Structure 1
Amino acid sequence: MRTHKTLLLTLLTGVSSLLVAPNLLAAPVVLELDYDIPVQQNQVAFVPFAGDSTLSSVILNDLSRTELNVTSKGLPQQPRSITELSGTLPVWQSMGIPYLVVGSTRSNRGKIVTDYEVIDVKAGRTIEGKQTLSADNNSQSLRYAGHVIADKVYELITGIPGDFSGRIAYIEETGVGINKVSRLKVMDADGENGNTITEVNGSIFSPAWSPDASRIAYTVQRDKSYPVIYVQNVSGGGATTVTPYKGSNMSPAFSPDGSKILFSSSFEGSADIYEINAGGGNLRKLTNWPSSEVQPNYAPDGRSFVFVSDKTGFNKPQIYRYEFGSGRISKVSNSGYATTPKFNNDGSQIGFLSGSSAAIMNSSGQVVTNIGNTGMDEGVSFSPNGKRVVYASSQGGKGVITIKSLNGGKAFGKSGQGVIKSPVWSASPN
C-alpha cells in the first residue's frame, strides 16, 4: 500500500530577495514536492551513519534479529540528525514508522566518535537526547562499539537493555579418544569475531562466565586424570587451578558478585555440591545426600541455587533449590527427567533439559516454553536480558550454535568444526 503526499515547504525570503524581486519581501514561497511514500509496517527506520563503513552494518544486523521490525530501505531521506528533519518530518510521519535512528561518525585524536539519535517520529523529538560513543580506530573496537550502540538503541525503544555486547563462550571438539582436541572459544553475540581462549588434548566441560565477563571457569579432563576446574582471564594469561581434589570436579558457576564458585565433586564419595573462593580455598560442602548432586547454578540474587539430583531414582534426575539462609532444599522440577538448570537474568525462569528436549520453566517448575530437541545432552543459556537463548545442536553432521528469540525475533545459527557444546552467554563487559 502506498500513499501520495504533497509536502509544503515555506521558505522565508531574506535580504537577498530584494535584489531579485522586491515585491516578495516577507511573502512565503511555497514549493510543492511530490513524494510516492510507502506505508511501512516496520517499527524502526535505520539510516546508515554518515562517514561510517563498519558500525552501521553491525547495528542493523543486531536490531534485525530482535522483535523490532527494522528497515533501512525505501527511506525518503538520509538525515544525520533531527535538525535535518525540520522540513521533511511530515513525510517520515506519513510512513507510519514510530522510530528513526540516525547518526554520523567523526575522527578525533585517533578515535572514532559516533553521534547518534533515536527519534520518536510522531512526536518529532529525540529520545533522551543525542548519544555519543568513542572507540579505537580498529575493526574489533568498532564492531564492539556497534554492539554497544545497538544495545542502547534497543533500550531507548523498548525500555529493556539490549543483549548484543555480551559474548558467547562455547566448546569445540575435534578428534576422538586420545586424539581428541578441545578448544574453549569466545565469539560476539552475532556469531562473528571468534577466538580461542585455550586448547587442550582431552575434554573441556561446562564453561561459566564471571558476572563482569572478564573470566571464564571451566573443567578440563586430560587422559588418565581427574577433571579439574580452572579459571581463565579472557584477556589472556595462564589459568588458575581452583579444585586440586582427587575426584570428578565439574560444572563451575560464579556467584553474582564473582567472589565464589559453586561446583560438584566426588572427592569425598558420591558427588555433592561445594562452594569455594573463585581463586581457590575456603571450601564449603553444601549437600550431603547419599545420591549424586551435580550442575549447580546460582540464583541472580545470590540467596539460593538450583542443582540436579538423582535421589528419586536412577535415570530420574530432578532439579532442586538450596536456600543459603536456612539450608532448606526443595524440589523445583515437575517433569520425569530434568537436568542442566540455568537461571535467566531476574530469576523468574530456568532453562533446562526436559528429557531430550530443551525447555524453559518458571520458578515454580511449570514449563512455559519448549525449545525442542537439540540432539545434545544440555539445555539453554539465556542472553543478558532474558529475551533470547543460545544452545548447541548437530545439523547435517556439523556442530551448530543456535540463538533463538523468545519474543518474536529471528533465530540464526553459527556452525563450527567438529562437535559444539555448552554455549553460554556473558553479560556486557561494561
Structure 2
Amino acid sequence: MTGESGSGSDAHLTARLGLGRIAGSILALLLLTVPLLSNLWQIPHRTFAAVGPEAERLAFVSSEGGTVQIFAINTDGTGLQQLTRPPGQSEIPVWSPDGRRIAFIRAQERDTQIYLMNADGGGQRPLTASPGTNTFPAWSPGGPSIAFVSDRGGSGPQIYVMNADGSQQTRLTASPGESTVPVWSPDGRRIAFVSTRDQGLPELYVMNADGTGQRRLTDPELYVANPYSRGQQRLVPEGILLRSGTLHPAWSPDGKQIAFVIRVGLYEQSVQVVNPDSGYRARVATGYAPAWSPDGHRIAFVGVRHGDAQIYVMTTDRSRLLRLTSHGVNLLPTWSPNGRRIAFLASRDGTLGVYVMNADGSGQQRLGSASGDLSKLPVLSWRPHLR
C-alpha cells in the first residue's frame, strides 16, 4: 500500500529532468554508479528542517531567488521566509538542539565559512574565519559544541570541534587521508565519521568526543572480480549516503547501532547496521539513505528498482516492509521528531521539490522548490521542539 499511485518510464523521467546538470547529477545518484571513493571532500551539501510547538517548520535550500540561499516554511505551506541573502551562497542549515538557532555555511569566492543565525534569519555572524573550506557543522546533542570539517593549513579535510560561539576550535583527527561528515552519538560522548585513511577507501569510524579512541568499524574490504559476472561481487564499505548521496553514518536513537551502506556489485547498495561496541553487523535492506524513526523501531530508506527510486519503511526486526511513494524520483526521507511525518525530496514535475507525508505514506504535499545544483543536493531534517 502506498501514499500515491502512478509511475513513468525511465526515458520519460530522463526527458522531464532534462539532459543538463540536473539530469546528469540525479541519474548518477539514482542509478548508483560507482562513487569517486578518493574524493570525500566533494560530498554533496545538506539542508535541514524544523519543528516547533506551534507549527512544524522546515529549513531548506533553494535557488528560486537566483542564488542558492536558505529558506524556511511551515509544513502546511504557510510562512515561507528567506533566511539568507547574498553575498555568497548559503547552504547546509543545521538547527540547534533547542530549535532557536541555525548553523550554516556561506561560500564566497574561494572561502567557505560556518555561520550562525537566529531561527528567523537575524543575528548572522561567522563562527570560523580560517582560509579555505569549513563545512558540515554538526551540533552536539546538548548544544554547547559544534563539530565540523576544515581543510585549514593545507592538511586536507579533517574533523574539528568548537564551542557554539566559535571559540576553542580544536582538531580531532590527524591521520593521512580525508576525515569528514561527523555525526554525534545521542549521548554526545562519541562521534561517528567517515575516513579514507586506510587504503584510500571510505570507511566508518568512531571516536570519543575529544578525539581519543579512534576505531574503524568497517573492514577495508574490496573484492574485485569480473564486474559483469553475477557470480562475483564487488564490495565497498561506505558510510550512509546522508541523506543526499553523501557518505554518512546514522546513529540509532538509543546509540547502540550505526546505520551505513555498502555497495554490492556495481549497481546495488545494502543498508546495514553495526554495533559500535561489539562490531556485530546485520543487513537491513537493499537501498540507501537510511533514516531511523525517533523510537528506533523503523528505518526509512530509498530503494531503487529498475531505475525507480522510491521511499520505503521497514521495521528493524525486518517483519514488515511498507512502500510509501510510487512515482517520480524520491530522495532523503527524514522523520519528524514525533515520528508521525516524513519530509523528503522528490522530482515529479521536472523540478526538485520539498515534500512532507504522513508516516504511512498518506497526505503527500509539496511545500516548495529545492531546485539548484544537484551536486549540492539538500538533505532534510526536522527542527527540534523549542525549549
TM-score normalised according to structure 1 size: 0.53
Q: Is the 8 A contact 2:115 2:124 kept in 1?
A: yes
Which residue of 2 is the match for residue 206 of structure 1?
92
2:354 matched to which residue of 1? 401
| C-alpha separation in 1, matches of 2:269 and 2:115 | 27
Q: Which residue of 2 aligns with 1:426?
A: 383
Whether the aligned pair in 2 keeps the contact of 1:402 and 1:411 (CA below 8 Å) is no
The AA in structure 2 aligned to 1:392 is L
What pairs with 1:32-111 in structure 2 (closer than 5 Å)?
A: none
Q: CA deviation at 1:409?
A: 4.7
Residue identity matched to 2:238: Y
What is the aligned counterpart of 1:226 among 104, 111, 125? 111
Cα deviation per residue 1:154-205 (whole Å; 9 max; x = unaligned)?
xxxxxxxxxxx54321111258xxxx50121122344543322112354333
Match of 1:99 in 2: none
- Residue among 238, 248, 252 paired with 1:340: 248
Q: How many residues align?
A: 265
Partner residue of 1:311? Answer: 197
The corresponding residue for 1:327 is 212
Please say which of residues 346-355 and 243-252 is displaced more in the overlay. 346-355
The amino acid of 1:340's aligned partner reads H
Q: Which residue of 2 aligns with 1:265?
A: 150
Q: Report what 1:299 is aligned to.
A: 185
Aligned AA for 1:410?
S
Provide the C-alpha distance between the structure 2 equivalents of 1:188 and 1:359, rounded to a whole number of angstroms. 34
Task: Tell me the secondary structure at the aligned position of residue 63 of structure 2.
Answer: strand
> Which among 299, 302, 313 is matched to residue 371 of structure 1?
302
Judging changes above 3 Å, is the alpha-carbon distance between structure 1 residues 428 and 351 closer, same or farther for their aligned structure 2 residues? farther
SS in structure 1 opposite 2:352?
strand
Query: How far apart are the structure 2 equivalents of 1:429 and 1:357?
Result: 40
Distance 1:291 1:352, change over 3 A: same
Alignment of 1:127-142 (within 5 A): none
- The counterpart of 1:392, out of the listed 337, 341, 345, is 345
> Residue type of the partner of 2:118?
N
The unaligned stretches of length 5 or more in structure 1 are 1-64, 66-143, 150-164
Distance 1:418 1:282, change over 3 A: same
* SS at 2:186 equivalent: coil
AA in 2 matched with 1:251: F
Which structure has the higher relative contact order (CA within 8 Å, separation 6+)?
2
1:254 corresponds in structure 2 to: 139
Residues 376/298 of structure 1: CA separation in 2 closer, same or farther (3 Å cut) = farther
Structure 1 residues 255 and 280: alpha-carbon distance in aligned structure 2, compared to 1, 3 A threshold: same
The two structures, once aligned, show a CA RMSD in angstroms of: 3.6
Q: Is the 8 A contact 1:358 1:378 kept in 2?
A: no
1:351–1:381 Cα contact (<8 Å) kept: no
Letter in structure 2 aligned against 1:425: W
Q: What is the correspondence of 1:143-158 to structure 2 with a 5 Å cutoff?
A: 148=53
Q: 1:171 to 1:346 in 2, by over 3 A?
A: farther
Report the equivalent of 1:169: 59
**SS in structure 2 of the partner of residue 187 of structure 1:** strand
User: d(CA) in 1 for partners of 2:270 and 2:105?
Assistant: 25
Q: 2:181 matched to 1:181?
A: no
Q: Is the 8 A contact 1:272 1:292 kept in 2?
A: yes
Closer/same/farther in 2, CA of residues 428 and 349 from structure 1, 3 Å limit: farther
Larger radius of gyration: 1
Does structure 1 retain, via aligned residues, the 8 Å contact 2:302–2:331? Answer: no
Write the distance in 2 (CA, Å) between the matches of 1:381 and 1:190.
Answer: 17
| TM-score of the aligned structures, taking structure 2 as reference length | 0.58
Overall identity of the aligned pairs, in %: 26
Offset at 1:264? Answer: 0.4
Distance 1:245 1:287, change over 3 A: same
2:73 and 2:270 mapped to 1: Cα distance? 24
| Structure 2 portions without partners, runs of 5+ | 4-49, 220-235, 240-246, 276-280, 285-298, 310-327
Deviation at 1:363, TM superposition (A): 4.8
